[in-house]
Amino acid sequence: MQRRQIIVVGGGLAGTATALGFASAGFDTLLAAPKAPDDARSSAILGRCLAFIAELGVVDALGDRKAPLAVMRIVDDLQRLFRAPTVEFRASEVGLSAFGINALNGDLAKALEACIERTGNLEVRPLAARDLALSDDRAVVTLEDGTEIGADLVVAADGRHSAMREAAGIGSRQWRYPQTAIVLNVEHKRDHGSVSTEFHTRTGPFTQVPLPGRRSSLVWVEDPKLAELYVDLKPEKLETTIAEKMHWILGDVSIDGPISRFPLGGSRVNQMTSTRLALVGEAGHAFPPIGAQGLNLGLRDAEALVRLATESRDDPGSRLMLRRYEAARRGDVLSRTAGVDMLNRSLLMDFLPGQIARSGTLAAMGLVGPLRQFAMREGLVPGAGFVGLPRSVKKWIGGDEAGREGVEQERYGRH
């Protein structure tokens, strides 16, 4: 039987970054994943997550195929009795040049692949895993070609319907929202100025996120029946509708590339670990594309798992390491999942006290600087609201090029 220290199952962005992280930390790693389909969506990567992939070389590999996110704006477009003022979160308020970057998922995947090609101890097999056996001394993954491979640790990063999670007997709760997300990219007449705008509407958020040049990605959450009608509109009519929904802040727009739509739902697991197994990304949590939290939560899983396994290098799949990972991720996963769920549901309900509470919270954010800055730091790095942003974030996002060699020591605790 073949053997590796680490097997990562799942070739999405979070899974590939996890495998690259383990290999870069010196582990003999196997990434088992069929080639992922083309993905025209984009992802915003913020705070410590950007520092994590930057240390792996992914940001340099992206080159100019990314756009900085310097300002995040929330606009109340609910047209209800109590309307919250527009709130702008500026990275400069917390000493950063940007909160992070936005890039097309396809470009992120290519950048990850380029980094993998330069990594010596990472093998990629374009095969799905079909079975998993777990015991105290090892895990055994069976690939679809029948090959069995033993490992100290298996990382399940194979999506919200994770076969590895089910094989380990970890239960999950799935739910649906009465919403559909329309996802597309657009070109526009006016410069976005590195500003992302999230319009809160009665059917859900309508979010514009900068791409390089005069281009932006859009995530448009809509009633399913209306979403179907919008997608079938003639391009000229749809472009006018999009510009109107953005209140013409970017001028005329034109559709750039394919349009896709998918139903919105969420999931949550009973536990993030089992014997010799850890869950990463949507295998452990999933929720609507609101507030740029989805991939970032998965990358925080990856960063924590690699860091803790490095601190337990003699046995990276030990019970102690897995207990530490479970404890490290529980609060972040629960709070972000609940927060996104609550925000999304608050947009759909007409309950007056809920409207007042939501409007009051946004108004407070806009008026009270320390509260707004707390929210920004906490959004970038869980726990940083009170203690400040860590050194790694300031080095990679704050524009300070000096002293980057100290970042690696901070991340892995080496002195």
Mean pLDDT for back-to-back runs of 10 residues, the chain (415 residues): 95 96 97 87 92 95 96 87 81 92 95 94 95 96 96 96 95 92 96 95 93 96 95 95 96 95 91 97 86 85 97 96 97 86 71 59 75 84 79 68 36 36
Domain contains 398: yes
Distance of CA 61 to the CA centre of its chain: 19
CA distance 179 to 263: 6
Please give the DSSP secondary-structure letter assigned to residue 91. G
Domain that holds residue 401: 2-173+265-409
Domain contains 135: yes
- Model pLDDT for residues 70-113, shown as the tens digit of each residue: 999 999 887 766 677 888 999 999 999 999 999 999 999 999 99
CA distance 194 to 344: 25
Element holding 301 (H helix, E strand): helix 294-310
Domain contains 326: yes
CA distances from 291 to 340, 343, 396 (A): 8, 10, 21
Please give the DSSP secondary-structure letter assigned to residue 266. E
Domain contains 7: yes
DSSP conformation letters of 187-199 = EESS--TTEEEEE
CA distance 218 to 208: 5
Domain contains 232: no
- For residue 349, the domain's CATH number is 3.50.50.60
CA distance 377 to 379: 5
Domain contains 206: no
Q: Count of domains in the chain?
A: 1
- Model pLDDT for residues 225-249, shown as the tens digit of each residue: 999 999 999 999 999 999 999 999 9
pLDDT, position 291: 63
Q: Answer whether 0.95 is exceeded by the pTM.
A: no
Distance of CA 161 to the CA centre of its chain: 17
Domain contains 392: yes
CA distances from 66 to 58, 108, 157 (A): 11, 9, 25
CA distance 42 to 35: 18
Domain contains 59: yes
Provide the residue type at 358 as one letter. R
Structure tokens belonging to residue 22: 């383990």
